[in-house]
Chain A
């Protein structure tokens, strides 16, 4: 007997399937938000404060309004409400009213017939500032005598983790101060949005964002409109990395559209993008680690100050993360971690890939190496010895459920194939790109020393601390030209991470249909939450999975009613019934998916505040020209527990991309601030790694499925940026013997061996407000 082979489904869960959005993006055919256009649209522009702290004495817009082609000039006086916006704390007006708190804060907006006239109008607005001394040191901002930058003081958030005996003593103690500079997310697509006034007095906004519904909530409130009169549609997003979690131009462009009754577009240039969005928090960290002579960790104590800048954004959650994950993925019986986020007059900081876990990982991993040296132990062995295991509690008292394969990741990562040995001195023709100086021809092997080191890190997936975290998906199964087609609608933002592909692969697998169409996200459906916190596969993937299963159940009911053979599709096989009579009418199901509830944070942060934990280890190999301080990262190897790779190729892409950002923070990326003013708001002066800076990455995907996650798939986006940075810096330390307690590491830090000193004396674990000037 022969069985006719049925065509197998292509692109199911577990396959490195091509994503439907990939070809247009690589061919230049994809419409990004900056490509948006509408007949008769106006162009918006923004006037920003040149001062980090000032009172606005007077704004004169008459000259700007009188310019030809200018349709509107709006200031705080024109705002429909005095409602403030903010991701977690409503503390900022869409246009500054009376005072500005950072250089770059929007003061006025204009709409004109073309971008040049809009810019001229911006120049024509006259603002009289009464400049005040800026508070730019976050530690100084916490001092009781510091000027109050907001009515409720300068502390945005204050998180203490007290675990075990906070005064525990240890045989061996290491202590130091660390610094992390401000990093920019640098998405290649600048902020852009198109607002179209609606006949009902409302507005439709097409915008590149990470979270449509959160934008909607803040926009509607600031416009004084009911939420049903504001509609958002996701426009093509050219990268996000946290920079699109906050409102930037959304409210402005809607205000202009409503004021002019015409479509208005705002597109930021690169410089304005640097000023327009929040950045990764600059941080100062004071750490002490104690261990027994055998190398068992006894305590971790830390004081952490994060520079929140002029407004809060998501600082409170970033501070909580820095504290909760501040001891690393280790068994730490006693901990005292005190983290504070401070208002300053620097540009605001908020979400960026790794979200607070990055800053503390840089410090605690440096501490682990220092401890290993003090103990005379191998640093990898020290990590393995103290690694969290299944069921262990982290310093918040929460047990790690699912899996905690930290020791396994460390062991596997350390065993990954090493790179080829360094080239040595070369005469004659040579591939300069293999050497630290690159094509700059600085070295042909002179002064080059190699270093290798390993680091491990962790953070949570999804939202924490009792936040109601959910995602909604609608799946519609229809028949088109005799063929079943599944339409999937969610509000999940595709920011490059691949959620479109994940939804396609899940729907295909669950429904057994080849054609899946993921529709453009908008606010006609419930929120999907943000494309952040490594959560969309877990949350929106989970919602799509649940909706598909409901559709499948209905399909089964109908099949039974039609007395047809019912067969649940096996993995990779198309659905085995004649769908024609079953899909009239089409089947549609909308499901909202929630993860397990988490506990709110208490005074000592001892609770199950997180859903799940993500772990990764990185091993970096560098060649350093020790005479010039120039570094070449030769290889990064990583073992990461991904739970289940829905699309292994896409996972590798996330790992490589995250490592590129981690490398950037390690050796070049820094928003340079002087007195609150940004000096390098361009890609000429803010350096991002190029392909020549990015080494080959060896990826080892470890699959320990998490019982709560769809197919066991944990989030993968953030861990690559967490421990890659400390691994690279540790490798540079190994090559040079330099202390290097600050990132990014600059060539002169290597040549001169300079260490960063804040000038504040701080006992690790103490309240950062008690810091004393040295």
Chain B
């Protein structure tokens, strides 16, 4: 572990000033600390955000939906009975995210901004493309957990459980920097590394995620989150599916289907959602939509299973919305 400076400001403005100066944000630290320990991240200056009030907790404003502070521990969302009523998909996505200990410390913002789990990326000794090297080692390597769709130079997958669930709820984020605030769709936070962009997130230098907003309209939709793991708990998704829809007289409206664990970003295809509009979410419609979602999938040596699995999970998720 290399030497770094550490500051724990109490005011957001002070944190933003330090971030502007090139410091690295630290919240729960459940991801960053392991990256530093393994020599993958080498920050020179850390800004500990956990002393800042006002970025923690969630609230409902009538007609304006839900606002979740970025420093809210995952456990607070998971255990809130009130939130479970309003947005059950969030609890479903969090109850199998990491471990209870990590959910106690890990934050909403940290979860969305966590780095990928590719074992070549996480191996200090492997000069992979994402870290500035020349190529992706998964392409001809051990690729069991890598992307089957949407990858360019880098075949890592988006690991977050929360992100697909929130995107299925049309979530937006508030992004703060010393220059001001902006809002963006949560889906746009995630970018597939490509060309000159060797990173997974679209935040600009000096920005931080301050809050997540879920619009009122999403609260009227049913949602569910399915996560296939290689053991019963404490592991990242092989494939996960977040789905939501409004069901009127047996017909689906405003359908959202977002896959985790299959692409460098939470994977969503507008055409797939569109073709489900007005259907009864019967098996045929669900499988046809799954095929559209996975159209163009090009699995690597070890991960063809993800395509089969994703197809089945999409069907099950959508069927459960209908039922």
Contact = CB atoms under 8 A, between A and B. Distances in A.
A578 interface: no
Interface stretch (B79-87, B175-183, B221-229): B221-229
B95 A439 contact: yes
Interface residues of B, number: 37
Contacts of A574: none
Interface string B62-83: 0000000000000000000000
Contacts of A433: 232
B48 interface: no
A729 B141 CA distance: 28
Of B227, B228, B309, chain A has the most CB atoms within 10 Å of the CB of B228
Contacts of A442: 226-228, 313, 316
B231 A674 contact: no
Interface string A662-677: 0000001000101000
A627 interface: yes
A680 interface: yes
B312 A747 contact: no
B96 A438 contact: yes
B166 interface: no
B313 A628 contact: yes
A249 B233 CA distance: 33
B274 interface: no
A747 B238 contact: yes
A679 B126 CA distance: 11
Nearest to A749: B305
Interface stretch (A363-371, A412-420, A457-465, A683-691): A683-691
A635 interface: no
B316 A751 contact: no
Contact of B119 (A427, A632, A679, A752): A679
Contact of A438 (B233, B309, B316, B323): B233
Interface of A is mostly: loop
A676 to B, nearest CB: 12
A602 interface: no
B231 A687 contact: yes
A427 B305 CA distance: 28
Interface in A118-137: 119-120
B231 A672 contact: no
B1 A119 contact: yes
A630 B224 CA distance: 19
Contacts of A693: 231-233
Contacts of A692: 231-233
Nearest to A688: B231
Contact of B226 (A120, A441, A679): A441
A437 interface: yes
Contacts of A50: 125
Contacts of B240: 440
Contacts of A687: 230-231, 235
B100 to A, nearest CB: 12
Contacts of B305: 629, 746-748, 751-752
B142 interface: yes
A439 B312 CA distance: 17
Contacts of A632: 232
Contacts of A690: 231-234
B313 A439 contact: no
Nearest to A444: B320
A504 B276 CA distance: 69
B117 interface: yes
A294 interface: no
Contacts of B226: 437, 440-442
A668 B230 contact: yes
A751 B232 contact: no
Interface string B262-273: 000000000000
B231 A441 contact: no
Contacts of A680: 119
Given A628-B313, A679-B119, A751-B308, A427 B229 contact: no
Contacts of A116: 1
Contact of B229 (A438, A446, A627, A746): A438
Of B144, B225, B240, chain A has the most CB atoms within 10 Å of the CB of B144
A684 B117 contact: yes
Interface in A432-451: 433, 437-444, 446-447
Nearest to A436: B232
A22 B225 CA distance: 41
A632 B230 CA distance: 10
Interface string B286-305: 00000000000000000011
A630 B1 contact: no
A444 B313 CA distance: 12
B125 A438 contact: no
A627 B312 contact: yes
B238 to A, nearest CB: 7
A396 B226 CA distance: 53
Contacts of A747: 228, 230, 238, 305, 309
B200 interface: no
B92 interface: yes
Interface string B133-152: 00000000110100000000
B213 to A, nearest CB: 25
B92 A628 contact: no
B142 A674 contact: yes
Interface string A683-720: 01101011011000000000000000000000000000
A690 B235 CA distance: 10
A441 B224 contact: yes
A443 B142 CA distance: 28
Interface in B179-237: 224-237
Contacts of A628: 228, 309, 312-313
Nearest to B98: A684
Contacts of B38: 271
Given A116-B1, A687-B235, A440 B227 contact: yes
Nearest to A437: B228
A684 B116 CA distance: 12
Nearest to B237: A440
B125 A441 contact: no
Interface in B112-126: 117, 119, 125
Contacts of B92: 441
A629 B304 CA distance: 13
Contacts of A672: 142, 144
A271 B95 CA distance: 27
Contacts of A271: 38
B142 A440 contact: no
Of B1, B117, B142, B320, chain A has the most CB atoms within 10 Å of the CB of B142
21 contacts: A120-B2, A437-B226, A437-B228, A439-B233, A440-B96, A441-B224, A442-B313, A442-B316, A443-B316, A444-B320, A446-B316, A632-B232, A668-B231, A674-B142, A684-B235, A685-B119, A690-B233, A746-B230, A746-B305, A747-B228, A747-B230
Nearest 9 CB-CB pairings of A with B = A438-B232, A748-B305, A692-B232, A440-B227, A439-B96, A679-B142, A692-B233, A693-B232, A627-B312
Interface of A: 50, 116, 119-120, 271, 427, 433, 437-444, 446-447, 627-630, 632, 668, 672, 674, 679-680, 684-685, 687, 689-690, 692-693, 746-748, 751-752
Given A684-B236, A692-B231, A747-B309, 9 more contacts: A271-B38, A438-B229, A442-B227, A629-B305, A684-B235, A690-B233, A747-B230, A747-B238, A748-B305
Interface of B: 1-2, 38, 92, 95-96, 117, 119, 125, 141-142, 144, 224-238, 240, 304-305, 308-309, 312-313, 316, 320, 323
